[in-house]
Amino acid sequence: MLDGLDPEQREVATALHGPVCVLAGAGTGKTRAITHRIAYGVRAGILPPASVLAVTFTNRAAGEMRGRLRQLGAGGVQARTFHSAALRQLQFFWPKAIGGELPRLLERKVQLVAEAAARCRIRLDRNELRDTTGEIEWAKVTQTVPEDYPAAVAKSSREAPRDPAEISRIYGLYEQLKRERSVIDFEDVLLLTVGILEERPDIADTVRRQYQHFVVDEYQDVSPLQQRLLELWLGERNSICVVGDASQTIYSFTGATPDHLLNFRARHPDATVVKLVRDYRSTPQVVHLANGLLSQARGRAAEHRLELVSQREAGPEPAYTEYADEPAEAEGVARRIRELMDAGVPASEVAVLYRVNAQSEVYEQALADAGVPYQLRGAERFFERPEVREAGVALRGAARAGGNDTLLADAVDLPSQVRAVLGGTGWTPQPPAGSGAVRDRWESLAALVRLAEDFARARPEATLADLVAELDERANAQHAPTVEGVTLASLHAAKGLEWDAVFLVGLTDGTVPITYAKTDEQIEEERRLLYVGVTRARRHLSLSWALSRSPGGRGGRRPSRFLAGLRPGSQSDGGRTGGAGGVERGGGRSRRRRGPVRCRVCGRTLTDAGEIKLMRCEGCPSDLDEELYERLREWRSAQARQLGQPAYCVFTDKTLMAIAEALPDNEAELARIPGVGGRKLQRFGADVLALCAGEEVGADAGEPAGEQVDEGAPESVTEAVTNLPEK
C-alpha cells in the first residue's frame, strides 16, 4: 500500500492517530497521499470503512476520491461534499427532530430572490439579480442574518453590488417567502443540520457513533458555517486529517477563509504537521515562476507559503508576449496553440485561462478562425447535456436488445458497437465544419466514442452493458470524459485541473489584479489566483497581455504588477518597462467589425446611452486616466459658464470618461468616441486634444461668450442617443 509514495506522502499515509495537518502545494500529490492514508488505515484495521467520512468541495473531487478509494480496496468509505453529507443526515433525522417531511430543496434561488426584490419595489437587472443572490449566499455561509448584513459588509470591507440596506430587505423577504412556501436552499441544508446537531444531543451522538474519523480536502476553502458543522461532527474527538494550501485560497468572496487551516496548529497543539513540496506536475521552469510569484506576496497566508521543488525534467522557459491589442493577442494565442497541436500536443491538453468569463468571446472567435476545436468550462455538465442524455438512452436500449439490435449486426467489437449506435444520434467519423451548437454536440458524442475505446483497451472482454454501467457510475461521480478541444476557462474554474500547455491571457493591471480589488487582502487574493493559473501548467506556459483593448487604440495599459521582477526586463518595483530581454511583441491586426455597439471588454451588446459612450459595460475594467478626467471636468465647467448652458451640453460625464480612457492623439481618434459629433469636434476638439497631450488651454470658450450652442439635428443615431444626459 505504501509502495510508490515519497517520504512525505508516506508520512501522511502512516499518520493514522490524532489530528493531522497536511500542507500540500500544487501538484504535490495530496489526493494520492490522503487516499492512501485512508486505504492504509482500512487495511491495517485502524479505520473501519463505514466510520470514515471524507469531505471535499465539488462533486467532481468527491467522485475522483471515491474512484481512487475503490481501486485501493476502501470502497466502503464515504467521500462526499459538505452539502451532500449534510443533506443525507438532514433527510434521515428530520422526521425525528422536527416531524413530517423535509421541506423541498430549492434548486435555484434566483427566481425567489427576484420575487423578493419586486415585492420590495427594487428593480434588479439580470446581473444585479445574480450578484444579490451571491450576497445572500455569502451572508448565510458567514452566519449573518438579514438585519446584520449592512454591518457585516462594512466590517469585512466587502463591496456590495447595491445599497446594503436594500440587499438586507431583499434577503429578509427572501427568507420569509421560503418559510411561507416550505422550501429550503442549499445554505439552509448546512444551517439546519447545524441547528439539529446543536439542539439534539441524542442525534449528535448517533452521528458521532457512525462517523469517527474525518478527512477534509481543500481545507483552505472552508467557510465559517462548514467549520461549525465539522466541529459538531467531531465533538470532543480529534481524529481528523485536514489538507490544504493557504496559497490557493481564491474563494473568499463566497465566505471561504484560510484561517481555519492556519490556526489548526493553535487549536491542536499536538497535531502532526506534514508538508508536501515535491511538485510532480510542473517543470522546474514553471515551478520557479510559481515560487517567484509567491515570494512577493504579503500577509498571513504568504507567511505560510510552500517552496515547491519540481521532480520533473527541465522544460521550456515560460513565454512572455506583449500584443498591441486584444484581438491580436487572441490571434497570436490561437496561432501558438495550432503550432503546439501540429507538434503533437493534444487539443484537450491545452487551456486558455482568463480572469473573467467575459474575456472568452475573442478567444472563441480566434480559435474558430484558426480551426482549433475548443470547449468552455463552467457551462453545462457533460452528462447533463441533451445529446449525452440521448446517447445514453440509445446505448442502454442497444445493450438491452443485445444481438437483436440490427445496428450492431456488423459491429465486431465494443468501440464499433458504440460508433454504430451513436451514428443514429448524430455522430459522424468526421467533425462538422465550423463551430457552434452542431460542433458542440459532435464533440460530446465523440468524447463518448473515445471513452468506449479507452474502456475496451482496459477491459477487452467488456460488453455494451458494461460500458453503460461505467457511464452511469461516471455520471453519478460527475467524472466526465475529456472533450477533444482546447479548454477555455476562468482562473477560478481552472482550480483543481491541469494541462500540458497553459496560456494565461489578459495579464494587465485592472484585470489581474481586477480593478475592483482595492484592499491589500483583495490584491493578495488576486496574486494567489494568478499562482493557481501558473501551477496548472505541466510543461508549456505562456503569459501575455495587450496594450490596448481594440485595434488602433492608445496602448496605455501596463502588464500586471504581479509580473514585475519576474518577466524578463522588468523591475521589481513594478515600473513600466520595455519588451527587451525575452518579452516577445506579438503583431497583427484584426479587421474592424460593424454592427451593434458592443462592449470592448466583454463583447455584450450595449443599449444604455452612458455605456455606449464608454464603449464598455459600467462594471467592466476601466483604463481611466483620473488626472486627465479631472482636468477635462474643470475645462468643461469653464466652457459651460462661458456658454451659459449646463455642463452636459458641452460633454456628458460619460463622454469625458471615455475620452480619459481612450486618450486620443488626433481628431480621427477623438471623432470615433461616441458623444463627440462633428460640430463638437470642430468647436472643442483642439482644446480636448491639447488636454490629452498634457498641455494647458486657455479659459476662452469654443464660441463667443454668452452665445448659445445650437446643437441642431444629431449627425447619427448613435450621437442622438449618446448626447442625452445620464440623469
For 642-683, the pLDDT digits (tens) are 887 777 778 887 888 889 888 888 888 888 887 787 778 888
Asked if pLDDT for residue 216 goes beyond 70, the answer is yes
| Percentage of the chain exceeding pLDDT 70 | 83
Is the pLDDT confidence value at 598 over 90? no
Residue scoring higher pLDDT (492 or 701): 492
The tens digit of pLDDT for each residue in 351-394 reads 999 988 767 777 877 887 788 888 888 654 556 667 888 898 98
Q: Distance between CA atoms of 503 and 541, rounded to whole angstroms?
A: 6
pLDDT tens-digit map of 6-29:
999 999 999 998 899 999 999 999
Q: Which of 159-173, 443-457, 650-664 has the lowest mean pLDDT?
A: 443-457
Q: Which amino acid is at 5?
A: L
How sure is the predictor about 604, in pLDDT bands with cuts at 50, 70 and 90? low
Q: Check if the beta carbon of residue 187 is closer than 8 Å to that of residue 224.
A: no
Residues in a beta bridge with 56: 81
The pLDDT, as a whole number, for residue 719 is 39
Choose between 38 and 452: higher pLDDT: 38
Res. 692: pLDDT tops 50:
yes
Instruction: Give whole-number Cα distances, 680 to 164, 663, 672, 699, in Å.
Output: 40, 17, 12, 17
Q: What is the mean pLDDT of residues 506-524?
A: 86
Q: Give dist(CA 269, CA 54) in Å, integer.
A: 23
pLDDT of residue 548: 85
β-strand partners of 605: 598
Residue 578: CB atoms within 10 Å? 10
Q: pLDDT at residue 573 above 60?
A: no
Residue bearing cell 471588454: 601
- For the CA atoms of 596, 600, 605, 610, the dihedral, rounded to the nearest 10 degrees, stands at -100
**Alpha carbon distances (Å) from 328 to 180, 335, 533:** 54, 10, 22
The dihedral of CA 359, 360, 366, 370: what is its sign? Answer: positive
| Amino acid making up residue 204 | A
Mean pLDDT along residues 518-532: 90
Sorted by sequence, the CB contacts under 8 Å of residue 696 that are 6+ apart come out as 690
Band (610; pLDDT cuts 50, 70, 90): low
The answer on pLDDT for 474 being more than 70 is no
Strand order in the sheet with 240-244: 78-81, 52-56, 213-216, 240-244, 20-24, 272-276
3-state class (DSSP) for residue 22 = strand
pLDDT digits (tens, 9 = 90+) for 167-203: 999 999 999 999 999 999 989 999 999 999 999 999 9
- Check residue 549 and give its pLDDT: 75
CA 247-250-256 angle, 5° bins: 105
In the beta sheet, which residues pair with residue 405? none
Rounded distance, CA 120 to CA 137, Å? 19
Residue 615 to residues 54, 546, 605, 653, Cα–Cα distance (Å): 49, 17, 10, 14
Task: Summarize pLDDT for 323-340 with one digit per residue, the tens.
Answer: 988 889 999 999 999 999
* Higher-confidence position of 481 and 692: 692
Q: Which amino acid is at 247?
A: S
Q: What grid cell was written down for 559? A: 502588464
Q: Is the pLDDT of residue 580 over 60?
A: no
In this prediction, residue 705 carries a pLDDT of: 36
- The b-or-e profile of 391-407 (16+ CB within 10 A means b, else e) is bbebbbebbeeeeebeb
Mean pLDDT (the chain, rounded): 82
Distance CA 273, CA 67 (A): 27
> What local confidence, expressed as pLDDT, does residue 343 receive?
94
- What value does the mean pLDDT take over residues 586-600? 50
Amino acid, single-letter form, for residue 516: Y
CA-CA distance, 319 to 504, in Å (whole number)? 10
Task: State how far the Cα of 274 lies from the Cα of 309, in Å rounded to an integer.
Answer: 15
- Rounded average pLDDT over 63-89: 90
Read off the DSSP letter of residue 350.
E
Do the Cβ atoms of 103 and 182 come closer than 8 Å? yes
DSSP reduced 3-state for 541: strand
For residue 58, what pLDDT is reported? 85
Hey, how many other C-beta atoms are within 10 angstroms of the C-beta on 145? 13
Closest to 663 in 3D by CA, of 545, 550, 507: 550
CB-hemisphere CA count at 13 Å for 473? 10
